[in-house]
Structure 1
Amino acid sequence: MTQSPAVRTPGSPGPVRLGERAARAVTAELARHQSSKTALLVGAEPESALLAATVDTLLPGDTLTVVPAAGTPAGALREHVAAQGRWVADRVRVVDSPAEADPADLVVVAEPLTGTAEEARATLDALAKNLADGGLLTVAVPAPPGRTAGAAAELDRQSALFGVGTDLVLRNRPPVRVHRLRFTAAEVAGAARLTPAYRTSSVPLTRGMHIDSNGLAAAGIAVGLAALTRLARPKSRLWLLPALAAAPVAAFFRDPERDVPTDPAAVVAAADGKVLSVERLRDERFGDGEFLRIAVFLSVLDVHVNRVPVAGKVVDYFVADGGFANAMTPDAEHNVAAYTVLDTERGTVVVAQRTGLIARRIVQRAPVGALLARGERLGLIRFGSRTDVYLPADAVQPLVGPGDRVLGGSSVIARWR
């Protein structure tokens, strides 16, 4: 019997549909796998945006198993798949229930969960049995309060335990939050087969330029202050100050697309800016070996989105207390800093996001357990700061020196020996 994972309770607002943007977020993990993969899509409908987006991610060596949604005949879904042509039909198999599917590298739930916490937990437990070791389960849930009978809270709980990433998709009716869960550890080698993840909360301005969601929030605050000032003092022109600041504030959070080098030996910059120092040192927090640290200063004019210098798996993340000295001075060594520790095929690599004189807010979006591709977005630091990359000293050859300008995710700062 066909079973749908989206269990709805009496009196609920009804089914939640995933539009094209939400479908792209749900299938993002499928799209970034560049090696052969096996996928399972549960609860699909023939004309759904999610089925189309899933099929679009398929590569020649991939296989996809599809389970119809409740009320959708398997025969109708098979006819729809066959109509897509021989290439799709050879890679897509339709079954009546998840129990008929083989273990998959990635499992995608086609319908957002809207039932109770217990029902959501039962659905996740059942689908976890379809995951191969290190496999990933992707599921969406309505984001607005009151749209579920407890499923949203349960997904938040599951993410705290097993989550390796979430994404909020505002451009869906209603908005949905996409959760990516991994219940067993993934191999580090898998990171090298990934491309940088697509992030839906960055708003595209042009094909090559986005604005980070933090920028939209900051610009919105500036516009709100302008409106309040205009209402409070209608004869004054003070409202122009926050109004005119909105555009520069949003521009600070610009997030350009970058061409990441394909050379497997390349180590890319973690941030835009000027190289402050290249030095060998030891840090017992990361191991007994010696590290090569490349420090980059970001002015207020630089792009402040940080990127991953090498492919790897996040194995630790911690924040060290300190001050807020000018990021260009030696005292910045003791500033507040967030450390993301990566396990890679070449050893331990660390990215340190340091605050500065003005920068007081660090955003890090890669939870422990996540696999990150080289050049993938890691987070950002607000308003002037410094980003350090720690590399195994004897395993790399530095290619930059103090005073050089680098671009995050694009400039090669070192090469593996």
Structure 2
Amino acid sequence: MTQSPAVPTPGPQGPVRLGERAARTLTAELARHHASKTALLVGAEADSAVLGAATAALLPGDKLTVVPARPEDAERLRTQVVTQGSWVADRVSVVDTLADAEPAEIVLVATPFTGSVDETRAALTELADLVGKGGVLTVAAPALPGRTSGAGAELDRQAALFGVGSDLVLRNQPPVRVHRLRFTPAETATAARLAPAYRPSSVPITRDMHIDSNGVAAAGIALGLAALTKLTRPKSRLWLIPALAAAPVAAFFRDPERDLPEDESAVVAAADGRVLSVERLTDERFGDGEFLRVAVFLSVLDVHVNRSPVAGKVVDYFVADGGFAAAMKPDAEHNVAAYTVLDTEHGTVVVAQRTGLIARRIVQRAPVGTLLARGERIGLIRFGSRTDVYLPAEAADPMVGPGDRVIGGSSLIARWR
């Protein structure tokens, strides 16, 4: 059997299949676009979860072209598309090989890469020619050592150069890492047409509540420590301390779903907490002009997942050195902070994630080049901290004042003029 060019070849332990969770992650970029779009699905099989997730993500006006993993499977795929009804059949077409496909805004590879470095690099080079200007190529590879002949390392290298997001999907056999690559700059205006991206980095507890993967890891460490203490000191009750700490530690990393305001002029809070200050200032690091800065203090009881207050494109990210003063104190102005700089239709917007007295680690998940929807998760700060939002002062009016409580991704902190 022959494969279409650019379809990954089986690795040393055979082909890897993507389950429903991995398929949803792979097709997340397709699902989040509200406007009409073109997509290309490469290496599809009739019974694959990726094909089902891709067709489920289609909206009126969308066009999806499917390239089978093997040319002889094209007719079977066409039959399956027709059996799903006219709504799908009008939007999905099947071609025999990649050579028959046209460039698209979103290119998805349904088969994880498991081959060698050279095979992976050659396939990505061919696929890159089919990604439209500013478009995204989404690919996957097994995340466990020994499951590829170099594909995983090559995709990590490509992600360092062109990556706009990576997700580890543990609930797959084997676990896989999904990479989103953008080879040409995207238009900033595109961000306003996006919904927040689906991320598997949080574990669902209920329909509206998740636990971030950092919380799962921290709780696992606590339980592991409890087990080790119980094993080494069976007559002691010291194991109860880490065991009882596991639940509140996990709860600290809770990641609830949030409803965005319908008002398109609304700027939403980047974090849960209490407004410390609303002031106008200048900061030459972000360009000329005056900024409106809204500072929010997060106590250890608040949700610590940070969100983008506006739709925009990440154009810069840097970390400033400093101290670890209590986040509610004026000296926190000079704490260690991570700055995510966004280009928006209204000007430069900055989200500053500041450490606090206890917080010593900032997690940022939005690489330079990423398009962020309003309210989309960008990272978190571990334990008590502070999050500041800088807005162009001539373009925004504040809607909150010191002492107000805000909810990240939901509360209005300002409105565009």
TM-score of the aligned structures, taking structure 1 as reference length: 0.98
Alpha-carbon deviation of 1:331? 0.4
1:125 is aligned to 125
Give 3-state SS (helix, strand or coil) of 1:105's partner. strand
Give 3-state SS (helix, strand or coil) of 1:353's partner. strand
1:389 is aligned to 389
| Identity, % of aligned positions | 77
1:3 is aligned to 4
* Counterparts of 1:392 and 1:71, CA distance in 2: 54
2:296 is aligned to 296
2:145 is aligned to 145
Matches within 5 A, 1:45-60: 45-60=45-60
1:276 is aligned to 276
Alpha-carbon deviation of 1:8? 2.6
Matches within 5 A, 1:134-213: 134-213=134-213
Give 3-state SS (helix, strand or coil) of 2:218's partner. helix
* Counterparts of 2:338 and 2:157, CA distance in 1: 24
Give 3-state SS (helix, strand or coil) of 1:400's partner. coil
Preserved CA contact (<8 Å) 2:71 2:97: no
Matches within 5 A, 1:15-414: 15-70=15-70, 72-414=72-414
Give 3-state SS (helix, strand or coil) of 1:139's partner. strand
The farther-off stretch of 60-69 and 90-99 is 90-99
* Counterparts of 1:29 and 1:411, CA distance in 2: 26
CA RMSD of aligned residues (A): 0.9
Q: Deviations over 1:362-398 (max 9, x none)?
A: 0000000000000000100001100000000011010
* Counterparts of 1:272 and 1:379, CA distance in 2: 13
Give 3-state SS (helix, strand or coil) of 2:59's partner. coil
Give 3-state SS (helix, strand or coil) of 1:351's partner. strand
Give 3-state SS (helix, strand or coil) of 1:206's partner. coil
Give 3-state SS (helix, strand or coil) of 1:73's partner. helix
* Counterparts of 2:135 and 2:181, CA distance in 1: 9
Alpha-carbon deviation of 1:2? 4.9
* Counterparts of 1:59 and 1:294, CA distance in 2: 37
* 2:307 aligned partner, one-letter code: R
Give 3-state SS (helix, strand or coil) of 2:286's partner. coil
Alpha-carbon deviation of 1:72? 4.5
TM-score of the aligned structures, taking structure 2 as reference length: 0.98
Preserved CA contact (<8 Å) 1:260 1:410: yes
* Counterparts of 1:2 and 1:142, CA distance in 2: 20
Give 3-state SS (helix, strand or coil) of 1:81's partner. helix
* Counterparts of 1:174 and 1:72, CA distance in 2: 28
Q: Deviations over 1:325-383 (max 9, x none)?
A: 00000000000000000000000000000000000010000000000000000100001
Alpha-carbon deviation of 1:100? 1.3
Preserved CA contact (<8 Å) 1:25 1:178: yes
* Counterparts of 2:226 and 2:94, CA distance in 1: 55
Alpha-carbon deviation of 1:277? 0.1
Q: Name stretches of at least 5 consecutive residues in structure 1 with no aligned partner.
A: none
